Amino acid sequence: MLATQVFSAPGGHDAALTQRADDLLDRWPVAKLIQRMITATPTGWSTRIGLYGPWGSGKTSVLNFLQQIAEETGDIVVRLPVWQVTGEAGFMAQFYLQLTTELHRRNLAEPLQPWLKRLSKKVTDTLSKVSNSTAQVPLPDSAEYASVISAAAQVSGVVFDKLSGMLQLDAEDLSALHEKLAKKRVIVFIDDLDRADPQVIPQTLLALRELLDWPDFVFVLAFDKALVSRALHSYSAAFGESAEHFLDKIIDLPFTLPAPTPKQVQRMAAKSLADSCGFLPALAIEQCAQWFPGNPRYAKRICRSLSVFGAARDRHAKDELDWRGIILQTLLRESEPGMAEYFTQHFQEIVNAFRPLMFASPNEEACNLHRQAALAMTPHAANSPQGTWALGLFEEVIKARIDSQSWLEKIHYEMSLAVGVPAFTSSELTGFFDAWLEHRTPRIIDEFIHGAVDRSGEAEAAVAADMLKAVNILYAQLCNEARSSYSRDGFERASENCADLLELMALLYGGELGGVLAVVGREPETCVTAIRTFFNYSTQDDTALERDLRQRERALARDIARRCNDPTVVYRQAQELQNNLTYSRQDPELRMAYLQDISQSVIPELISRALELFFLPNGIANAYLKGESKYLWVLNSMTSPLYRTPEAVQQLEQLMRRPRNPGQQAVVAENAMSYLGNFGLEQDGILSLMPQYSAPLHARYIELAWEALMQVEPRIQTLVYLEELHQRLLRGGVAVELLPLPAWWNGREGDIWHPLQSLL
């Protein structure tokens, strides 16, 4: 078995190449060139060759190929894992151990027998002089290279500053070895020197020059020159910032591993993706391979990141996922995480700037601003090769997502497939709908939700919420399918599917099923999503099928709005859509009518909850002072349905005049005073919480609140405030007849307030 096969794993994510057939970056010619450099060295010389290249660029693969070429010519290759070495002594011990092991394996170690005997005697003599308390090293029981060298390495730290003197071959040993080797060279690979202990690096390099300058020995050192230079400089400033002069004294023949060409990178990336990500479509691989980094280790790492998407492939329809966008965005996330974060945070603005318009070019000024901002999230200069590549990849991601018409939520979903298991996919939801059409029983719904919970591990409520959201998307897809159909049969089939799905949605949102759906179906976000879905299709259609669908949509939207546990959100959403309604679109009157219908559906509940504040302890005060009430705006806004709905004031009147005990009436009075206190506030640079008094809107409310307030005779301190409030309301425009004064207003004989009246 060749040493290459022993030293390098035959496969794996990060394995170096051992087969020429796998050489997609043309590292074999590099190995051949280094072999020619070795053979060109005169016989009897010692040579040190430096193979320079960054981490992961394929230096070990070159050494593997070089070993195959060298062994075919009869040379001997020794591999030294220097990154495992600690200290100069450790390096020397590892060198001799690997050398003698390889020579012994080839039956070439006979010339070293005298050296081995001397070394064994030195170790034995040394150990005999060391007390048992300081040296726990067993005496070598046989004259074997490994045991003797290991014993020497272990004991040397106790008695010697350096191991080199103990292990050093003398001239006779080297001469005998040279004669035994005949014309064979010994080529020693020292790989990953840049990963070694920084304290070891200078000692290792000096040992190669001072102690191991042996005839016909070739040392090939593979390392990242920049990293080794920094390590040397940190060890001693005498080496200089780049350690150029020191390395020139050690390395006889420097060779820098050439960067791969774009064609080589594309070839390597395509092969790596095909090997570890066989689920990816061939077209997506072809479109993205050119953007992979030329460093094989980086490229393989990205392939590993992409391989986790394989679990999601079988659960999605063939064209459901944007594989090109997923590959490119993974590349961006792995290579430039800050730029990838900027892309997702500003996705819509980026798309708006870069998307080609029908009659105009993209907004180049906005595009440049996004380019600059994205580049600022990286450490690269604008005109540097890395900066140019990063910007190119950034724009390629944008182009891919625009071409696939992706939206942000879809992008988040696709990228989350790398770390999470989706509760269900679109194709699985379609399968669920088909099953429900066949049976139309709640059991089908329960099985789908529970199966999704089991697959994903998510909470049942979260799965149910996602299900309702996905059902809305499915409904929109079916509606679009009906509208885009070119045949009568296709249109009717899609419209019937819409009607069936509406029946399912009525069941899901209706609350009859109970359980988690009854809770989730009332959440504001869930309700608004459904209402907006139906709003998008609120147009006047010509066919009876479509008119029937619009009526059913509107009825279901009203029911969903009424059931929502926060009518404020629904009402405000409807108002926002009304304000932004584009009259150039088809049938604005019908769309407006739909929104008004939604608003009217929640107004009774909205008013009822706002009026409840009058009857809760500190209800109005807390709403104003703490701003915690969702219904504060109902009390404040001039356009509030509280003041625009005639039935609202009648409802308040009925509530105010219900029989109450003194304690309950005091609560109403306190709330009434808080309510009145927000009318007629002086504008002393402070914005009033309440609009200025408007008789048509507020008169009856003020009258009812004042009436409730006057039913409870206050303390003297409160009476002082009421006097000021009365005057303020009058100054604000409230008619005096709306604020009648009770008998106790001026106090009674003997009250402290009575004599105060003459002073006011």
What is the mean pLDDT of the segment spanning 359-367?
79
- Please answer whether residues 481 and 428 qualify as being in contact, where contact means their C-beta atoms are separated by less than 8 angstroms: no
Better-predicted residue by pLDDT, 128 or 33: 33
Give the mean pLDDT of 20-29: 84
CATH T-level topology, domain 3-7+17-256? Rossmann fold (3.40.50)
3-state secondary structure of 422: coil
DSSP-assigned letters across all residues of 21-32 = GG-SS--HHHHH
Q: What is the pLDDT of residue 14?
A: 56
What ranges make up the beta strands (E) of 149-296? 186-191, 217-223, 253-256
Q: Give 374 or 746, the one with higher predicted confidence.
A: 374
Using the predicted structure, report yes or no on whether residue 87 has a pLDDT greater than 70.
no
- In this structure, which amino acid lies at residue 757? Q
Which band of pLDDT confidence, cut at 50, 70 and 90, is reported for residue 509? very high
Tokens 């209402």 found at: 531
> Taking all residues of the chain, what is their mean pLDDT, rounded to a whole number?
85
Q: What is the largest CA-CA distance in the chain?
A: 135
| C-beta neighbour count of 38 within 10 angstroms | 20
Decide if 538 contacts 591 (C-beta within 8 A): yes
Asked whether the predicted pLDDT for residue 489 surpasses 60, the reply is yes
CA distances from 474 to 453, 504, 522 (A): 20, 12, 20
* Those residues with Cβ within 8 angstroms of residue 40's Cβ, 6 or more apart along the chain or in another chain: none
- The more confidently predicted of residues 459 and 2 is 459
Q: What are 137-187's pLDDT values in tens digits?
A: 555 555 678 888 877 777 765 544 556 677 888 889 889 988 888 888 999
Token digits for 47? 């040579």
Would you state the pLDDT for residue 140? 55
C-alpha dist (Å) from residue 31 to 37, 126, 220, 222, 225: 10, 44, 11, 12, 19
Location of each CATH 3.40.50.300 domain in the chain? 3-7+17-256
Of residues 164, 85, 158, the one with CA closest to residue 119: 164
Give me the pLDDT at residue 238, please: 82
As a whole number of angstroms, the distance between CA 474 and CA 2 comes to 61
> What's residue 141's pLDDT?
52
For helices 87-105 and 145-159, angle between their N-to-C axes, nearest 10 degrees: 170
Q: Render the burial of 237-271: b for 16+ CB within 10 Å, e for the rest.
A: eebeeebeebbeebbbbebebeebeeebbbbbbbb
Q: What is the mean pLDDT of residues 684-695?
A: 62
Please give the single-letter amino acid code of residue 59: K
Length of the chain: 760
Give the 3-state secondary structure percentages of the chain, helix then strand then coil, rounded to 5.
Answer: 65, 5, 30
Say whether pLDDT at 629 is over 90: no
Q: Give me 447's structure tokens.
A: 């099985």
What value does the mean pLDDT take over residues 663-679?
92
Q: What angle do CA 531, 534, 539 make, to 5 degrees?
A: 135
DSSP-derived pairing of the beta strands 76-81 and 186-191: parallel
Q: What is the pLDDT of residue 210?
A: 81
Q: What are 274-328's pLDDT values in tens digits?
A: 888 889 999 999 999 999 988 888 888 898 889 989 888 888 988 889 999 999 9
- pLDDT the model gives residue 449: 95
Comparing CA positions, the residue from 336, 245, 324, 326 lying closest to residue 298 is: 336
CA neighbours within 13 Å on the CB side: how many for 230? 7
When pLDDT is averaged across residues 477-481 and rounded to a whole number, the result is 89
End-to-end CA distance of the chain: 114
Percentage of the residues of the chain whose pLDDT score is greater than 90: 44
Are 691 and 640 in contact by the 8 Å Cβ rule? The answer is no
Angle, CA of 729, 730 and 735, to the nearest 5°: 105
Q: 44-73: per-residue pLDDT in tens?
A: 889 999 999 988 888 989 999 999 999 998
Tokens of residue 197, six digits: 């202990």
- Strands, sheet with 253-256, edge to edge from the N-terminal-most edge strand: 76-81, 186-191, 217-223, 47-52, 253-256
